[in-house]
Chain A
């Protein structure tokens, strides 16, 4: 099934024409942003230099930390009054990354979700429970409006309260769910413990964190769904950027929306089809916040073979990161954010270690940080109070509950070369 068959199956030459037109428009629009005016000037590139889509390579990359420099509205290409919604996502340090949407942006985004959901056979006969955060996280509202657009019956159940989630799936005859794969695993286990089944369920959409084929098999068996991988990031609207079709062999990325390159993250060299590297995207339809060659940090490759479904070129499922970003329970965390928080607290030192484990299929992050000698006055409550303060400060910034262990001053490893402060013990998911 297609939502927009013409666009979804554009022939390569038509697609290239459309991409070029939109790339030029994006360049023009980016020139409204001071950051890009400077970048383009430094790179010595002008509008008149863009003749083919490959000319995108003349343009400089945009990194996540660049967006931080523009906080809050430095990357807006339109007046704020044209912005109808703001989302945020984790920044590398301190302030979050701000993402703004015009009315057209929201429509374009919902259109993408509509394509994706139609592609996997969902439509107005379906009842859809959206079990992700509905706040600043783009997964909630993003899927919500796309699902409404195709006429699904949408239950904005958001996160938490697994008992209630199970009850709603049963009572409302839910046919499709969207959540992180780890939450789906948790849901399946709780249901199993309680001998609950979900006869109405047929489709599971899982995203926001990487997951394996063995996890897919397990989720399908336990929940009785066909499981689809969903990919996106807030800087490129949110979820919906790429999605699996019924073949479930790679993700269809929407080339009329996104100009895709794969690069060697060390050298910036552009790689060919089949070569694994960092996904770099120039969004072609973003109005409020156009981006140029945005480095997603996600590692994938362009698949060489076409797809039986007839849609455009796929990318492989994401296999990792080219930077040190962590995905904890679907939330993006940069070690630099943790460092920033700890540096702001005089009670603790600036050495720290981060451990990530998976307990009952949910990610747990624990942080060890050294006590500052000056703040220990001999009482246990000195320590517990500081511990609570660190937990709260981290939660405020990361929007994530962590466990914090205070350790003795001088006891954590000191790194001479590249610090290895993060120990991920989750294994393959």
Chain B
């Protein structure tokens, strides 16, 4: 198993909290025909970080940077959950037992499955531990 296969590059965009910023980012994706697979916004005092998993991360990075956005890649992993009551509990418990400390997480429920995207401190170690506890991780290539 190559741990790298499970590490997904999330696009993180620094954005001020003001009207029209999200529309501007979304428009950029549309223009480049970039598909958004998962998405969240974290907000602090007057500014935030827009996080997205997209099918063309490098293109997204390039486009947003050319528009003047402050963009960075962040490594995240995607844990598969059962799309039914108790699905999150099962995975959360597994992560707890595996000693995984999440910095943040967001989830989506798609065609494939319900998915929990998590950002952890030590990503390689987290992948190994989750797999060893019997968790299922989505491979990065699914997103491209």
Contact = CB atoms under 8 A, between A and B. Distances in A.
A407 B16 contact: yes
B44 interface: yes
Nearest to B11: A378
Interface stretch (A115-123, A288-296, A314-322, A408-416): A408-416
Contacts of A378: 10, 12, 49, 72-74
A411 B16 contact: yes
**Helix, strand, loop or mixed for chain B's interface?**
strand
A405 B103 CA distance: 23
B73 to A, nearest CB: 7
Contacts of B68: 408-411
A100 B128 CA distance: 66
Contacts of B105: none
Interface in B27-61: 42, 44-49
A155 B76 CA distance: 60
B48 A376 contact: no
B70 A379 contact: no
A380 B14 CA distance: 8
A360 interface: no
Nearest to B9: A378
B72 A376 contact: yes
A341 interface: no
Nearest to B17: A405
A194 interface: no
A403 B47 CA distance: 13
Contacts of A409: 68, 70
B92 to A, nearest CB: 22
A387 B70 contact: no
A377 interface: yes
Contact of A383 (B44, B69, B73, B104): B44
B49 A405 contact: no
B9 to A, nearest CB: 10
A378 B71 CA distance: 7
A371 interface: yes
A406 interface: yes
A407 B74 contact: no
Interface residues of B, number: 20
A408 B49 contact: no
Contacts of B72: 376-378
A17 interface: no
Interface string B9-29: 010101110000000000000
B91 to A, nearest CB: 23
Interface string A364-379: 0000000101001111
B49 A380 contact: yes
A235 B88 CA distance: 67
Interface string B57-89: 000000000001110111000000000000000
B98 to A, nearest CB: 22
Interface string A347-377: 0000000000000000000000001010011
Contacts of A387: 44-45
Contacts of B14: 371, 376, 383, 406, 408
Nearest to B15: A408
B45 A408 contact: no
A344 interface: no
B47 A379 contact: no
Contacts of B103: 379
Nearest to B46: A405
A383 to B, nearest CB: 6
Interface string B102-130: 01100000000000000000000000000
Interface of B: 10, 12, 14-16, 42, 44-49, 68-70, 72-74, 103-104
Given A371-B14, A379-B103, A409-B70, 18 more contacts: A371-B70, A373-B70, A377-B72, A378-B10, A378-B12, A379-B74, A380-B42, A380-B44, A380-B49, A383-B44, A384-B45, A387-B45, A405-B45, A405-B47, A406-B14, A406-B46, A408-B14, A408-B69
Interface of A: 371, 373, 376-380, 383-384, 387, 403, 405-411
- Nearest 4 pairs between A and B by C-beta? A378-B12, A378-B72, A378-B74, A405-B46
